[in-house]
Structure 1
Amino acid sequence: MTDDAREKAMLVGYLQSARDALVWKLDGLDERQVRLPMTRTGTNLLGIVKHVASTEYGYFGEVFGRDGGIAMPWLDEGSEDNADMWATADESRDAVISLYLAVQSFSNVTIQQLSLDAPGVVPWWPDERRDVTLRQIITHMLNETARHAGHADILRELIDGSAGMRSSNSNLPDHDEDWWAHYRERLQAIADGFGA
């Protein structure tokens, strides 16, 4: 295996891990729960997955002059603001997940077929930064996906208390609810010590 092939495999491995963590955040939730607007700006689990799918499709498609034939009408000119950040009543949880998996497959083909130094152009970035390589875009998309998986971590914990990177490993100390309640109380007391 060449150095480039090893580097590409490493980058794709990390990207896939972030993708999997994001999708796992929907496991076991119903259609209502995945749509719940959990912040002032309406951030919701299904919307995050739809957004990441839309973003990834642009970065591994348009940037490299590739089209996977995946329709995303919410990105068309004249679409409602923020339309990629929530699912309509007609867009089921399974449909959004299927969309994301189709985008991942398309992206993986792009990554497989191009070298890490393959040139691309990001038309929505400032002129001085538009010229990129596949390496930069994989890194950028890894960062984007991990960032949104972190958002999903918090939303999921607020919905039903589930936490962690995957169902088999929470990455948290194994304590009961009483321990966590005392832990939160301690942190609250420290914060309160600094005033309102």
Structure 2
Amino acid sequence: MSDSEVAANEPKAVLRRYLVSAREALVWKLEGLSPYDMRRPLTPTGTNLLGLVKHVASVSAEYFGIVFDRPFPEPLPWFVEGAEVNADMWATAEESTAEILGLYQRVWEHADATIEALDLDAPGRVPWWPEERAAVTLQRILVHVIAEINRHGGHADIVREQIDESAGLNVRFPNIPDQDEAWWKQYHARVEEAAKIIQTRE
């Protein structure tokens, strides 16, 4: 194995690669949409694409910021005491798309600096977690945030598909069968039919 291969498989490098992939995939789900489609709620709990990006930026700023005594330098008013519930999960009419995406970019620049500066076993503390598990390491937070972003990336997949039927893992690798619209309609019908057959048996 070459030196470059060894470096690419070092634990921090692997975690960073998965982190970058997840955060890029999430923001890619906004590509080509109107401001309305980015923002409109498509579940009963209000899930929307730009809100997911705002939320991920917000929590990432905290996890790679105050947890390691490296606070993100910008105020996040939706996190202050007395802020509206769920204010980090949607963009108001006063918040532009460019503002949310700019925040997302700056958060990741700050996070990357934290990750670069610290070893995986560097200690931190999550003040909003229960005391018995508030003590953490950079490695644990990397795993936690990767899981968090991928969870919301799954939400974004479903929301985007409801908007315009676009689907895929990321811009480089869709990770779904390369079939035409007719094939997908037939596939959908087969899945529905199997569900109906089971329903009649139970």
**TM value normalised by structure 2:** 0.92
The equivalent residue for 1:96 is 100
Q: 1:152 aligns with which of 153, 156, 167?
A: 156
The equivalent residue for 2:132 is 128
What secondary structure does 2:119 align onto?
Answer: coil
Q: CA deviation at 1:160?
A: 0.7
The equivalent residue for 2:167 is 163
The equivalent residue for 1:15 is 19
The equivalent residue for 1:68 is 72
Q: Which amino acid aligns with 2:94?
A: D
Q: CA deviation at 1:92?
A: 1.4
Gaps of 5+ in 2: none
Q: CA deviation at 1:167?
A: 3.0
Q: Deviations over 1:102-147 (max 9, x none)?
A: 0000000011111110100111111111110000001100110111
Q: Which amino acid aligns with 1:60?
A: F
Q: 2:43 aligns with which of 39, 46, 56?
A: 39
Q: Which amino acid aligns with 2:20?
A: Q
Q: CA deviation at 1:6?
A: 2.1
Aligned-partner Cα distance in 1 for 2:89–2:196: 35
What secondary structure does 1:41 align onto?
Answer: coil
Q: CA deviation at 1:7?
A: 1.3
Note the 1:103-142 alignment, pairs <5 A: 103-142=107-146
Q: Deviations over 1:23-74 (max 9, x none)?
A: 1000000110001101010000000000000010110011111122122111
Q: CA deviation at 1:150?
A: 1.0
Aligned-partner Cα distance in 1 for 2:172–2:88: 30
Q: Which amino acid aligns with 2:187?
A: Y
Gaps of 5+ in 1: none
Q: Identity rate of aligned residues, in percent?
A: 52
- Relative to structure 2, which stretch is displaced further, 133-142 or 168-177? 168-177
Please, what is the CA RMSD of the aligned residues? 1.7
Q: CA deviation at 1:195?
A: 2.1
What secondary structure does 1:194 align onto?
Answer: helix
What secondary structure does 2:78 align onto?
Answer: helix
Q: CA deviation at 1:165?
A: 1.8
Asked whether the 8 Å contact 2:67–2:125 carries over to 1, the reply is yes
Q: 1:174 aligns with which of 175, 178, 181?
A: 178
